[in-house]
Amino acid sequence: MNAFNVVVALLPENILLAGIVGLIALEVCDAREGTALPTSLLVRIARQQTETVDFSTSNVRGSAVPLYLAGARVDENYPIGPTAGTAFNLTCLSYGGSLDMGLNIDVAAVDQPVLLRNLMEESFDDLVRASQPPAKTKTATKKKPTKKVS
């Protein structure tokens, strides 16, 4: 067993389940100190991570101001993220006051991709409805009796 396998074998399972984000943070911190984790170790752990994760997601903050490409204004964007060994990826990208979502499904891993998409849409609609303030209801007001003028 080489040293690389020994390091991976010694990592507790919850470290692997914590996700690659923590390892990247370690990489950044250690790189400042000059003791960065070997890339081969990070790649190995990232690959193992995908075996324990059903889906991946990403939320990317986009521009708050209009963007232009070759003089044409960009009105919409269509985010798409890699499945990276997971069953599906949902990527969110904000742009100019909107939030756009892209769902990338590995049809070999998801038996009913249309059902998954429909359920995701329904869940999002539920979330939007739940975020709305409750509708104001009109309270019945008693009418004042009118006086007859004689």
> Distance between CA atoms of 75 and 97, rounded to whole angstroms?
11
Q: What type of residue sits at position 28? A: V
Rounded (5°) CA angle 120-89-123: 15
Look up the pTM and report it. Answer: 0.54
pLDDT above 60 for 16: no
CA distance 27 to 3: 19
**Long-range CB contacts (within 8 A, 24+) of 11-20:** 11/45, 16/45, 16/48, 16/49, 16/52, 17/49, 17/52, 19/49, 19/53, 20/45, 20/46, 20/49
At what angle are helices 20-33 and 39-50 packed, to 10 degrees? 170
Task: Assess whether pLDDT exceeds 70 at residue 122.
Answer: yes
Distance CA 6, CA 44 (A): 12
Token code pair at residue 142:
């008693």
Domain boundaries, the chain: 1-52, 54-131
Rounded CA separation 40/62 (Å): 31
Rounded Cα distance, 19 and 52, in Å:
10
Task: Identify which has the larger pLDDT, 125 or 43.
Answer: 125
Q: According to the model, what pLDDT value does residue 71 have?
A: 94
Report the pLDDT value the prediction gives residue 77, as an integer from 0 to 100.
Answer: 84
**90/33: higher pLDDT:** 90
Report pLDDT for 72.
95
